[in-house]
Amino acid sequence: MNISTQPIIRQQVSLKSANTFGLDVTAAFQVEITRPDDLLRVMDSEAYQNHPHYILGGGSNVLFAEDYPGLVIKNSIPDISVVSEDDREVIIKAGAGVIWDELVLFSLDQDWGGLENLSMIPGRTGAAPIQNIGAYGVELEQVFVSLEAISLKTGETGRFDKPQCRFGYRDSVFKSGEQHSWVITSVTLRLDKQPQIQIDYGNLREVLARSGITKPTIHDVSRAVREIRSSKLPDPAVIGNAGSFFKNPVIARSRFTELQQEYSDIPGFAVDGQRVKVPAAWLIDRCGFRGKRAGDAGIHERHALILVNYGKATGKQLITLAMEVKNGVFDQFGITLESEVNIIGASIPNIV
């Protein structure tokens, strides 16, 4: 018989191992949930009702500016299951606490396509639709079916399909406004048994060709993505970071044409007939920030888009450096960078 137990709420808990920046911050209260019902019980607690709260997954997309004065709820809801399948596709459901790359590896083990380009993205599955994660020409919304979430206001469970999520570039309805009060508990995806390979973004095709692969499988694509990411991105276990710190800005095509007159090598990717996406890493690198260091806060020497903690940096020091980068890019290019990382703190500069 499965007897439900009350989640244990702890006090004055270090979050250093719970955020990939490795910032030495403390939460006044912390609790881990492993089932949706746990959240409902936590919502009845004094720590929840009388203090601010923050939902934390893998901690790979967050920067704490300071100690957190409220309740940090660690979402660790597990399990992957098959909802339905036929000869062409399979619908799977994953708990919000499932590590994203474990879900990718699970799909690859079954020869189901759709997630291979998203290999090695850090974080938990519950964060994937919030950010509409993407890499190498693929975004989550392309395989997304629906999600389940619990309202922090009413305790009711809701289902959100793709239109209701209002996906955008690294954006969704869950990042702001009323929908910010929902906690995602599971995500449902549609994967292909006869996948269409996508290798036209970045240097995927080049890496595959170097290995003599002319007709790549989803496994080949995943291995190529992992090779590229490993060569470019620092391991958070070795040096604290949260991956790409800024979004790639989308600007008007007319403005991009103007910039081409001054910077003939500026890269751009068409979003539609009127807009162009410019790599933030190129802008930051061109401003001379790559490799810059201020104490233990720095810009990675191999990838200008990644802020790093060399050991004892504080959240505020990283934010100060991010502001310097944002201001430098605006001064040189007239382009405003937006943070991809969630900044948590009581009084922080506006860099989002």
Which one of the listed residues 119, 146, 186, 244 is annotated catalytic? 244
Residues 70 and 137 reside in one and the same domain = no
In a domain, residue 5? The reply is no
Instruction: Look up residue 327 and give its two tokens.
Output: 């201001």
pTM: 0.88
Establish whether 227 is a catalytic residue: no
Judgement on whether residues 225 and 113 belong to the same structural domain of the protein: yes
Query: Taking each helix axis from N to C terminus, what angle separates 100-109 and 218-232, rounded to the nearest 10 degrees?
Result: 150
- Of 170, 172, 186, 339, the active-site residue reads 170
Task: Write the CATH number for 25.
Answer: 3.30.43.10
**Residue 283: both structure tokens together:** 């802008």
- Residue 2 covered by a domain: no
86 and 198 co-located in one domain: yes
- Count of domains forming the chain: 3
313 is a domain residue: yes
Query: Is 170 designated active site?
Result: yes
Q: What are 309's two structure tokens?
A: 């903690």
The HSE-up count of residue 31 (CA atoms within 13 Å, CB side) is 23
- Residues 143, 156, single domain; the answer is yes
Residue 37 lies in a domain: yes
CA end-to-end span of the chain, whole Å? 48
What confidence tens digit (pLDDT) does each residue in 185-235 have?
Answer: 999 999 999 999 999 887 899 999 999 999 999 999 999 999 999 888 899
Asked whether residue 352 is domain-assigned, the answer is no
CA dihedral 240, 243, 246, 250 (to 10 degrees): 170
At which of 56, 75, 94 does a domain end? 75
Is 112 within the bounds of a domain? yes
* Residue where a domain stops, chosen among 182, 209, 232: 232
For residue 257, the Cα-to-chain-centroid distance in whole angstroms is 30
Q: Are residues 307 and 245 in the same domain?
A: yes
- pLDDT tens column, 1-34: 345 578 999 999 999 999 999 999 999 999 999 9
Q: Is 230 a catalytic residue?
A: no
Indicate if 120 and 182 belong to the same structural domain.
yes
218, 90: one domain: yes
Same domain, 42 and 171: no
Q: Are 266 and 282 in contact (CB under 8 A)?
A: yes
The answer as to whether 4 is a domain residue is no
The H-or-E segment that residue 99 falls in is none
Its domain, for residue 86, covers: 80-232
- Among the three residues 232, 262, 286, which one is the final residue of a domain in this structure? 232
- Is residue 177 scored above 80 in pLDDT? no
pLDDT at 346 over 60: no
- Cα of 215 vs its chain's centroid, Å: 30
pLDDT at 178: 64
Percent of the chain residues past pLDDT 90, beyond the cut: 86
Q: Do both 167 and 265 map to the same domain?
A: no
Which domain CATH number covers 326?
Answer: 3.90.78.10
Write down how long the chain is: 352
What share of the chain in percent tops pLDDT 70? 96
Please, which residues bridge with residue 298 across strands? 293, 308
Q: pLDDT tens for residues 283-329?
A: 999 999 999 999 999 999 989 999 999 999 999 999 999 999 999 99
Do 214 and 107 belong together in one domain? yes
Is 3 domain-assigned? no
Residues 249 and 288 grouped into a single domain: yes
Q: Does residue 50 sit in the same domain as residue 89?
A: no
At 1 the pLDDT is: 37
CATH number at residue 131: 3.30.465.10
